[in-house]
Structure 1
Amino acid sequence: MNTNLQEITAQPYHGIFLNDGRKFSNWGSSRSTQPAVYVEPISYADVQAIVRNTEQFPTPVRPVGSMLSVTETIANDGGTLLCTRKLDAILGLETDDQGRHVVRVQAGCRLKKLSLWLQQQGWEIPFQAEIGEATVGSVAVGDTKESSLDGPGYFSSHVVAILSIDENGSLQTLSDKQDAAAFYEFKCSFGLSGIVVECVIEVRRASLCRADVDLKVYDSPEALTNDLLRLRKGCDALLAVVILHQLACFVEQRYRAGAGNVTPVRSQPECEQYRIAKRLAIQRGFDGGSLPPSKGIVFSRHDFINEYWHPGETESRLDFQYYEHDIGRLEQVITESYRFTQAFQQKTGFAPTGWATYFVHRPERRFKPYGIYSCGPGISCSFDPIYCNPNDPLWQQFSKEYNRLAIDILGGNPSPIQTQWLRPGDVHIPRKLARSRFTTPYYQQFLV
């Protein structure tokens, strides 16, 4: 037994290995960490070697992808930061034993790369990602949101099997048909149960989307809410960016537009104009950005999965908070948020540049047992403040104070990877999902 263990721990590692004390930052340069070791494995065997060798790769081992999260989820001072970016192969389309069309892909593959590859084959994932640099492994076990035309509206709902490395360094496969409850729990684990190296994702034939975009102004938060609910009922999906302190909003009503995997020629100029404007507005945290009104543009959904350049520390760039609410509370959420924002602006002169509003369909509880979207069938909405400088002290103060309203009073459900300045008790992650080898101090505070 001891001989076997020695042989396992002596397994060689071949990927990038850095232990020179450098710091690593997230996309927005608002969070940084100084791990003892930074690694980029190039094979599943490399990941196994890392997990098994606690001396060379100190605990905790924290998997990361593109490091997009706005929170302290990347923080792992003195531990091992494991970046999956070299494990990014698309392994191919398959038909599983349930007759479903699926794509098999490695965890470090970016959503933009995967979507482009699928588009060229005439397929797509129903989830239309907003940020194309997000990696498959991160979103398979993390929190996402999308006002989806089809399906629940969060990425992990389309993942039907996961290959991961457990705390002993062993490969394990979990699937919805073979492992049921254990599989659904794993998808709620934020990488604390094991390091994802491969995913199997359900796909369907590519389809087109039609969108109407408009700017609206209201005389009260109640009127704004009522119109958002009306507009949502009149389309297949609705995305809104609310400029709350001005009682205005950009609304994007989405409609199904039939089969197809290429934006029609007649829509391409207007579509590209809107895509670029939307990309720049998001990149800059809506700092001076605007979305041109458009009506009836038809496009391939892949075209609106954008990638964003890594901003300099003085550039305007997106930062945000996230809260899940039931749609039945939307009027209270918007009304109370408006009052809070007005009071904060009167006191400090500060207001967020916008508030992102998404609508997500919740599944049965057994399919999403923990975290956001875990309250059983229904419709969730988000109302998320956005700003253009994550390091602005007034934005940070606003976020900290608004947390108490959104979570404590409005009952909002926050995310450890999308909601900043959380306190212990704001998020509850079942202790049974966490393995000590993978649990950083940031996540330790949320275990119950």
Structure 2
Amino acid sequence: MTSSSATDPAWQGRADHAAHSVTALFGRKLLFLPGTHLAAVTWHLGQPAGTWQAALQRLGSLAGLQFPWHYWWQAHYVDCLVDAGRRAPASPLAGSLASRLLTGMWLRNAFTFVNNYYDDMAWLALATLRLDALTGETGGSGRRRNAAVRERLKLEFDAASTDHMGGGVFWSKKRDFKNTPATAPVALFYARTGQQAKAQALVDWLDRTLFDPAQGLYLDGARLNAAGDVQVDRAVYTYNQGPVLGALLELGGEANLARVAEVVEAVNRQLTVPGGGTVLRCDGTGDGGLFTGILCRYLALAATDIRLPERTRATAARLVTGTAEAFWSGKRSLGAAEPGGNHPGGSIFSVHAARPAEETYPRGAAVELSTQLQAWMVLEAAAAISSGNPRGRSLADGGERRDGSTLE
């Protein structure tokens, strides 16, 4: 059972509105090349009109060459497009755009999908897995390319998953830090591709090394100090909880599902806005602008998984829909005089769900892609809950899990 707002069919239209706003404002062809797509890092860079800086920045934005290069933001853009395609499977546009986005990423990343950060690559591997399922349903092209991407990135994950510090996945190719942001999505990727033993071993390492029983949440990471002892970084981030929930649900089993219930309740207690009811906290701009969206993607899985207690499902649903409602009510419409104002009906979403966009992104401000993807993800998660069919999983088998239970 979910909250009444979760069953509101308007969530489908709200998610669609976010999809059109983000793709219209941020979507570009890379170097104006046909068959490519990429998202600009920012939408309005705030330079005074007519300056040479403004001209260069606008040209770079239009050509998809803004700096810095945010590989993992684009990976989540792929995921959002897959969400939109699964929500409206009669239209192949989203899947086609996601496929062109992969081409743009490959070109922009110097003709490779390999990156220095294993978490970045894990997000892309998960997104291409879901894109492949969507492509299979809609009859689109690119499945051979998608499979090649996953096979190439799997080699990277295998190399990063070592017995150093007892297990886990390295965060970067410096190989000096293992953390939840890399280990959890790699575990989820393994679980979704039939490598349950590898996935469970990574989850077990997370439980031994980075789960904090006092908080009921997963900590950030661990490294060896000068004395050779494991030193844990005790920071708690919203998004780290998300892919762990995904991996635990994918693997199933009594212990894993019990841990899901524990984490959902802990998120409800500790990661919401004080006095904000069921509105999740957000983590600002930059990379942090994605964090709450990622958590909501996987809370939507928990909200519709009948293997979980009704209380857990209801809590997960309230967290997603409460946060989505806050993002929706706090959006601001584009002004006709603003850059991009020629996209009628478009909106800007706030950096923080609990604060209006008029405050966090006033007219003339630079709007970051990460924050807009975050709101889009949250609205897609709410739409998935309202339909009873979460979009976070690959669902290549139509929603049936390997333990025989179903999501419907």
- TM-score per shorter chain, which class? under 0.3
**Structure with more strand by fraction:** 1
Q: Which has the higher contact order (CA 8 A, sep 6+)?
A: 2
| Rg comparison, structure with higher value | 1
| Structure with greater helix percent | 2
User: What TM-score, normalized to structure 1?
Assistant: 0.22
